[in-house]
Structures are given as C-alpha cells and as structure tokens.
Structure 1
C-alpha cells in the first residue's frame, strides 16, 4: 500500500510516499480502506514540529478519516467488511489503509459522500460543542462568528442561525461574506478592517454581541472581547491567525463576561456517548440537506505535499481533503 510518512519533524521535505505491506488488524481492531482524509491547521503544525504533541516517528499525517471497513480483528461483532465509516485519530490517514480500534469508528449515512464526511467530522462537531455546550447560545442572542468561511466558522454560522440566533459573520473578502449570508448569517463584517469594533457597532442592533465564536485569535482578539455585551461569552477555539493573543484581566470583570476555552478532544474523552450522538445527528443533518456540506479543496494522495502546504493558506477554497483512491483536485463548491 502507498503511505505518506515522515522520518523527522520540521519540514515537509522529510515526508514522502512510501510502499508498505498492508497491515492486518489485531483483536478489537478494524482495517479501513481509506477513501478520504481531511487535513486541518493542526496537521501542518505537527509536520512542522510546532504542535504541543509530537507523535512517534515515522509518522503518517491526517486524522480525519472516512472509508470502508476492509477487514475486522478477533472479537469485532458490530462491524463488517464494506461498512462505510469515519474516525478521528491523531494521524494515519494519508495512507491507502488504516488500522484503528473498532470502538473508535462510526457509520456514515449512505447519502453522505466520503469527502464531506471527513471534512465535517471535526469542524462541525467543534462548532456544535462551542455554541451549545460551552457558549450556551440561546434563541434571540447575537453571535459573531470569526473566520466565517472556514470549516468551523461556516458550520457555526449554520448551527447558530438554525437555533434562532442573530448571526453576524466576519470574513476577509466579499466572496466569503456572501457565502456566509447564503449559509444563514443576517449580517456580515470585514474581518480585515482596521477598526473592527466600528464594523461590529454598525452591523449589530445593540452595538454589542452576546457570543464571539473565535477560531482565529490574532490581533483582533481584545477588540472582540471589548465588543461583548454584559455576561457575554468569548469562545476560544484556536489560533488560525497565527499569534496567541493576551487579554487584560480587568476586562472580564468590567464586562461581567467570560473567556471560555473550547477543547473538542476533552469533550470526546469526557462525554464519549454524548459526542457520538452529536456526530450522528450532524451526519444525518448534512446527508438530508438540513445543513450544507462543507466546502472542500480536493487533492490526490500523490499531491499530499501540496495538500499539507495548503492547510496554512488563508485563500484556500475550503477544507483540504485528500482522496486516496481518486485524482480529483478541483474545489468542490
């Protein structure tokens, strides 16, 4: 089988396609014939050696995996060869086959394509967890979504709008803002503005927001917190903007507001059954058309270098997805 793996961290040059024997699953495991693997910002950080976790080498990137069960190990009764499944691992997805624990995979609806399943696996669940478990968003509240054209952001726009919130989407280009409106945002602002607080005041009826969904961080962080209403919540999801900002500790006091961390791996570990139920609902909502499919930029396994490089580009056409058994590389709009 073909596998894209690296022997050192720090540069993509240390990663290349290699040929390996197809592995056999042990007891309690399944072998997945990988059809699609989604890549996020974290995958690029791991390859560069800049993530807090450094998996053992040699390392195969890509953990958002969708495919079909190819073989089962001893004791696996609830899965059979041919089952369509998805799983989130720390890596192993940029390969034609992956071995995972049988209790870490779940079914994909027949109406949901593999690329969409992989692309939404983490982002849609993160958005749902952020909004409703950590942010406690209520109907009628105003929600500002940063990075509204990204994977987490586009999911958050849809989910918040469906919950009855007044959604304001922040994005850097007119095209991205138009897409956010099509997904349910009632208003948009230019996230690249030199005065984002003025943009918020002009776009929001009260001039302040109840919840900020923030997967970006960066230089606008303090301005966004200052734009919160009393008892507002600023949801910290990630730092796609590149820098990790700081916040004066008196601001939460003055605002009676909260800075709330959103760590999706904690949710999965602490409440696995709740997380599984949430993923099932999200898969079904996308399969039925109740939620829009994620926008994807598709690459072949032979283009793995390009795909990983694309994870850090702000102008990419959607969630990066590598198709292991196809050559499509054009964006799915």
Structure 2
C-alpha cells in the first residue's frame, strides 16, 4: 500500500510517499480501506512536531478517516468487511489504516466519505464546548469567530441546532456568504476598527452570551469585553498567531468566564459522554438536520499541499485528503 511517512518532524519536506505492507489488525482492531482523511490545523502542527503531544517516529499524519472495513481483528464482532465507517485512526494519510474498534462508527447514508472524514473531532468538540463547557441555553446568542473554518463551521451549525442565535465572524465576503448558507443569523467582518460597535449592532444592541473562539487572535479581548453579564468565552485553539493574554480584572467586571475546551482530554477522561455526543451528532446527520459542508479536497499525492493549506487558515469547511474512490 502507499502511505505518507517521515522519520523526523522538522519540515513538511521530510515527508515522502512510500510503499509498505498493509498492517494486520490485532485484537480489538479494524483495518480500514481509506477513502478520505481529515486534515486540520492540529494535524499540520503534529506533523511538524509543534503540538504539545509529540507522535512516535516514523510518523504518518491523519487522525480521523472514513472508508470501508477491510479486515477485523480477533474479538471484533459488530463490523464486517465492506461496511462504510468513520474512525479515529493511526496514520490516515495512507491507503489503509488501523483503528481501535471502539472508535469505528457506521456512516449515515446521507454522509459522503469526505464529510465523514472531518466529522468526529470538529463536531464532538463543538457539542462538548457548547453544552458541557458553556451550558448554552436555547435563545442565547453565540458569536463564532473563524466561523468559516472546519471547527468554526461546526460550532455555527451545532449552536443553531441547540436553539441559539448565531453571529458568525469571518474575514472575507466569500467566507461570510459561506456562513450565511450554513444558517448564521448575522455575519460580521473581522476588521478591528469599530468592530465592537458592529458586533453590538448585529446583536440588536446586546453583546453575545457565548463566544466560540478557535482563533484567539486580535479580536480575542474585544470579544470578551463585549460579552453580556454571565457570558462565557470558549477557548478552542490558537490559529490566530501569538497566544493573547487577558487582564484578569475583566472577568470580574463582566461577571464572565474564560473557559478552556480540550477535546483530546475530554475523550480520554470522559469517554462515555464523548460517545454519547457522537451518537447525538450522528442522529442529526442521519435525519438531515446536520450536513457538514465540504471543504477543499487534495489527492494523496498532494499531501504536502494539504498540510500547508491547513496551516494557512484560508479554507472554508474541513480540508480533506481524498485517498481513494470507494
């Protein structure tokens, strides 16, 4: 099989496509023929050794994929070869990848492989953030920063499903049109000058109750300052550049909370609740209430371009590596 691999983590140029024997699934494992693999900002950071958790070497990028079951290991009885599935995988930039059977889920018929490949992490993150960390109530308002990106789009869609009024902030008219198509109630540019006044106008004279922030860039402090009383600012990532700081007195003055969202630890420490969130999301996807938008696709031979593109933050929706037509 063909797979992407590197023995060092210093540069994307270190990665090559190699030929390797397909891995054999062990007890409780599943071998998946990969149709598509999600490519996110974190995937690119991991590939470059810049993430807080360093992968073992040699490293093949890609942590979530969709495709068909090729083989099942001993003890796996709920899956069979040919099943359409999505899974957390070890090395999804490959024609075949291993996954723990506990992470393998059937794909609703409404979802294409490319949609399913970018579904699990972003949408579980969004539901965990808005329900467990923000305790979002129907009728509250949510400001989504970076709303056209993979995680931002998930936050926008999930907030709407939970009954919130959503203001989507995005940097270009193309991205704002994308957010309108996803159901945003209002859209907002990201130019700092006069931004808080435009946000207040978009909110009908009020600030947001919740800020969903995967960016933590120049609008981080203005967004926090704009929160309503008892507001919650969710910190989901730092794609906006240098990590910003917040004067501690603002939390007291606003009666507001700065809340961290770490889905990796959530899945490790609260696996039952994480599975329940995924169950709910798959129900919404299965009945048509949730349709993940397709982002830009890259062929397996274009893996380096896909990683570089993920680092730019320029895409709309979830970037996907399209490995095979299954």
Tell me the TM-score normalised to structure 1 length.
0.93
Alignment of 1:1-333 (within 5 A): 1-89=1-89, 91-326=90-325
Change in 2 beyond 3 A, CA 1:118/1:199 = same
State how far apart, in whole Å, the 2-side matches of 1:242 and 1:95 are: 30
Q: Deviations over 1:38-97 (max 9, x none)?
A: 0100111112221111111110001011111111112222221112221124x4000111
Question: CA offset at residue 314 of structure 1?
Answer: 2.8
Matched-pair contact (CA < 8 Å) for 1:119–1:294? no
CA–CA separation in structure 1 for the residues paired with 2:156 and 2:95: 34
Unaligned runs of 5+ in 1: 328-333
Equivalences, count: 326
Aligned residues: CA RMSD: 1.6
Query: Deviations for 1:256-312, whole angstroms, at most 9, x for unmatched residues?
Result: 110001111222122222222221332232243212222221111111111111101
CA separation of 1:44 and 1:158: change in aligned 2, threshold 3 A: same
Runs of 4+ in 1 over 6 A off after TM superposition: none
CA distance in 2, matches of 1:292, 1:103: 24
Q: Distance in 1 between matches of 2:264 and 2:213?
A: 17
The structural deviation recorded for 1:317 is 4.1
When structure 1 is superposed on structure 2, of 279-288 and 91-100 the one drifting more is 279-288
Alignment check: 8 A CA contact 1:35 1:66 kept: yes
Q: 1:317 to 1:233 in 2, by over 3 A?
A: closer
Shift of 1:216: 0.4
Is the Cα–Cα contact under 8 Å of residues 108 and 285 in structure 2 kept in the other structure?
no
Compute the displacement of 1:18 (Å).
Answer: 0.1
SS in 1 for 2:229: strand
TM-score by length of 2: 0.95
**Cα pair 2:10 2:48 within 8 Å, conserved:** yes
Distance 1:106 1:217 in 2: 32
